[in-house]
């Protein structure tokens, strides 16, 4: 049953509901990519689909706009797939269960994917409407943005004619982005030895943390479940052997849960449990403002004998997590309240041979990003761990003279009687990569109000989505 049928603009929310019904996690965008191709075919629009499943759709100018400079509309088709612990949805295979609560759309038990499904819906609604006035429109829809902008890295844009790009991947109405951080993914892999260990097994789980986007919300001081778990195990009153330790699902999301299974000597179990509970109480007090729902559970299984990381290597695992930096590294010296450099331990996982720490590394200063990467290599090397980097993308530097920015500020002020905010952000958008592919590209990023993206509390404002669409229509009609 359709949920968004009565919402305005109808065409935008109809396409958004279609998108939400199609599974589209990063690396599994083929279905949504094919949907976009079928959309273009049905309307006789010029279109391209590459081997990565990036899609470009082109619509020629409407009457009277043939000589107006083309404009590129841009967004990404993948979404961060997070779900609540009690949600059994297979997000690789199933669509979302949409909910409306007042002015907000959300998804039951999962992320919504408004980042960046609403951008795709905007573009499709525009391309579908033959009554609109517009220059040549070039819709660029990429894959794998959420895992390192791999689609934007690999896309061929040689068929594009536009030099103005409207990226619709921001989450605050009235705020226009003119610069963003660069970044990469870092995997720190620590080889470990396992052995059969007998004793009492304690399953230690941290949950209920607030989480959030590792770029735009890294400055909120929220707890990271993975690093906090290392603190709990560090403060255990006796040596522990880690059978498993796993937390977080995405490097660009601040992890909300982490679980470790540890084996301890039977006569030490009560004391270890008590020391972990004490450490958790201290952490809860420390993070009471940012993470009021933080919860610790410790379950116990006696007479256990199973494979676990040796006590010596378990200590190395804990020490490595503690030694590596996490969170804000440095604030900008040029822009007030802007995070310059940071990293986030988004994923912590163990297997038979190693424990892997996956970080999102970000900086608006290239040499600072390079320095942080070198720091990771140096610290990891001291523990005999290996570091690999993937998905490196450049920062999007501020353009002093921007005709697109001037027009968008003017139009916003005409429509709403106030000036929009123009700012830089610590999160990454694809403008930097695309600017490197299209000489002289003029970019702005904008979008409607969305809250708690990359979390199960993600929600999209209906009224803001409507206003933002009306604004975009004015922008593309500008001569």
Asked if the model's pLDDT at residue 454 lies above 90, the reply is: no
427 to each of 152, 188, 245, 299, 351, how far by Cα in Å?
16, 22, 28, 38, 31
Output phi, psi for 151, to 5 deg: -65, -45
Chain mean pLDDT for the chain: 96
- What local confidence, expressed as pLDDT, does residue 138 receive? 98
Structural contact between residues 338 and 398, judged by C-beta atoms closer than 8 angstroms: no
pLDDT in tens, 347-400: 999 999 999 999 999 998 889 999 999 999 999 999 999 999 998 888 888 888
Asked if the model's pLDDT at residue 261 lies above 90, the reply is: yes
Q: Can you tell me the distance from the alpha carbon of 429 to that of 180, in angstroms, rounded to the nearest whole number?
A: 7
Question: What element of type H or E holds 299?
Answer: strand 295-309
Q: What percent of the chain has pLDDT over 70?
A: 100
**Which residue, chain included where needed, has tokens 């002093």?**
400
- What local confidence, expressed as pLDDT, does residue 134 receive? 98
Confidence of residue 336 (pLDDT cuts 50, 70, 90): confident
Q: Can you tell me the distance from the alpha carbon of 52 to that of 152, in angstroms, rounded to the nearest whole number?
A: 10
User: How many angstroms from the chain centroid is the CA of residue 328?
Assistant: 17
Structural contact between residues 378 and 390, judged by C-beta atoms closer than 8 angstroms: no
pLDDT in tens, 190-237: 999 999 999 999 999 999 999 998 988 999 999 999 999 999 999 999
Confidence of residue 172 (pLDDT cuts 50, 70, 90): very high
Q: What's this model's pTM, rounded to 2 decimal places?
A: 0.75
User: How many angstroms from the chain centroid is the CA of residue 302?
Assistant: 40
- What local confidence, expressed as pLDDT, does residue 122 receive? 98
Identify the bridge partners of residue 260 per DSSP, sorted by sequence position.
204, 245
pLDDT in tens, 99-111: 999 999 999 999 9
Three-state SS at 441? coil
List, edge to edge, every strand of the sheet that includes 442-445. Answer: 46-49, 55-59, 137-142, 71-76, 164-167, 442-445, 175-180, 421-425
Task: Enumerate the H helices of 254-384 as residue ranges.
Answer: 269-286, 311-323, 366-382
Asked if the model's pLDDT at residue 333 lies above 90, the reply is: no
Tokens at 252, concatenated: 């660009």
Cβ burial of 330 (10 Å; 0-12, 13-18, 19+) is middle
Active-site residue list: 78, 145
Confidence of residue 329 (pLDDT cuts 50, 70, 90): very high
pLDDT in tens, 299-319: 999 999 999 999 999 999 999
- What local confidence, expressed as pLDDT, does residue 26 receive? 96
Asked if the model's pLDDT at residue 327 lies above 90, the reply is: yes
Q: Can you tell me the distance from the alpha carbon of 359 to that of 326, in angstroms, rounded to the nearest whole number?
A: 9
User: How many angstroms from the chain centroid is the CA of residue 334?
Assistant: 25
Q: Can you tell me the distance from the alpha carbon of 248 to that of 361, in angstroms, rounded to the nearest whole number?
A: 16
- What local confidence, expressed as pLDDT, does residue 428 receive? 80
Q: Please name each of the domains of the chain with its CATH number.
A: 10-181+395-476 (3.40.630.10), 184-393 (3.30.70.360)
- What local confidence, expressed as pLDDT, does residue 334 receive? 79
Q: Can you tell me the distance from the alpha carbon of 38 to that of 465, in angstroms, rounded to the nearest whole number?
A: 25
- What local confidence, expressed as pLDDT, does residue 427 receive? 82
The DSSP letter of residue 146 is G
Q: Which residues contact 186 (CB under 8 A, 6 or more apart)?
A: 343, 358, 359, 360, 361, 373, 376, 387, 388, 389
Q: Quick one: which of 221, 239, 178, 214 has its CA closest to 395?
A: 178
164 to each of 159, 174, 363, 383, 441, how far by Cα in Å?
14, 19, 25, 48, 6
Identify the bridge partners of residue 390 per DSSP, sorted by sequence position.
185
pLDDT in tens, 233-255: 999 999 999 999 999 988 989 99
User: What is the per-residue DSSP string for 100-148?
Assistant: EETTEEEETTB---HHHHHHHHHHHHHHH-TT---S-EEEEEES-GGGT
Q: Can you tell me the distance from the alpha carbon of 228 to that of 210, in angstroms, rounded to the nearest whole number?
A: 13
User: How many angstroms from the chain centroid is the CA of residue 217?
Assistant: 11
Output phi, psi for 177, to 5 deg: -95, 135
- Note the residue count of the chain: 479
pLDDT in tens, 9-46: 999 999 999 999 999 999 999 999 999 999 999 999 99
């Amino acid at each position: 049953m359709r949920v968004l049928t009565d919402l305005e603009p109808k065409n935008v929310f109809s396409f958004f509901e279609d998108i939400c019904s199609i599974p589209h996690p990063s690396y599994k965008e083929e279905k949504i990519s094919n949907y976009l191709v079928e959309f273009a075919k049905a309307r006789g629009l010029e279109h391209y689909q590459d081997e990565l499943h990036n899609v470009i759709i082109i619509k020629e100018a409407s009457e009277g706009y043939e000589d107006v400079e083309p404009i590129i509309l841009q967004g990404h088709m993948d979404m961060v797939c997070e779900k609540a612990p009690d949600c059994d949805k297979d997000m690789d295979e199933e669509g979302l269960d949409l909910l409306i609560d007042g002015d907000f759309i959300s998804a039951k038990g999962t992320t919504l994917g408004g980042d960046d499904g609403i951008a795709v819906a905007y573009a499709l609604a525009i391309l579908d409407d033959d009554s609109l006035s517009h220059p040549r429109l070039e819709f660029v829809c990429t894959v794998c943005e959420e895992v390192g902008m791999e689609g934007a890295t690999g896309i061929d844009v040689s068929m594009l004619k536009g030099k103005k790009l409207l990226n619709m991947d921001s989450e605050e109405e009235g705020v226009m982005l003119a610069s963003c951080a660069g970044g990469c993914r870092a995997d720190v892999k620590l080889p470990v030895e396992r052995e059969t260990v007998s004793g009492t097994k304690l399953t230690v789980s941290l949950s209920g943390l607030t989480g959030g986007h590792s770029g735009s919300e890294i400055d909120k001081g929220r707890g990271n479940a993975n690093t906090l778990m290392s603190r709990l195990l560090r403060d255990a009153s006796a040596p522990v052997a880690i059978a498993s330790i796993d937390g977080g699902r995405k490097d660009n999301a601040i992890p909300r849960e982490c679980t470790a299974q540890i084996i301890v000597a039977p006569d030490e179990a009560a004391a270890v449990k008590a020391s972990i509970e004490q450490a958790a109480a201290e952490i809860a007090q420390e993070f009471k403002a940012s993470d009021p729902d933080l919860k610790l559970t410790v379950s116990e299984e006696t007479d256990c004998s199973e494979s676990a990381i040796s006590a010596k290597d378990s200590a190395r695992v804990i020490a490595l997590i503690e030694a590596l930096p996490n969170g804000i590294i440095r604030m900008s010296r040029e822009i007030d309240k802007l995070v310059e450099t940071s990293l986030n331990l988004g994923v912590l996982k163990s297997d038979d041979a190693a424990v892997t720490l996956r970080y999102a590394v970000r900086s608006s200063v290239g040499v600072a990003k390079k320095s942080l990467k070198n720091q990771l290599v140096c610290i990891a090397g001291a523990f005999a761990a290996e570091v690999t980097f993937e998905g490196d993308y450049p920062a999007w530097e501020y353009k002093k003279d921007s005709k697109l920015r001037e027009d968008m500020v003017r139009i916003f002020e005409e429509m709403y009687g106030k000036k929009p905010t123009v700012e830089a952000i610590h999160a990454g958008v694809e403008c930097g990569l695309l600017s490197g592919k299209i000489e002289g590209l003029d970019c702005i990023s904008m979008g409607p109000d969305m809250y708690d993206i990359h979390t199960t509390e993600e929600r999209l404002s209906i009224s803001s989505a409507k206003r933002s669409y009306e604004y975009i229509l004015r922008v593309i009609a500008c001569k």
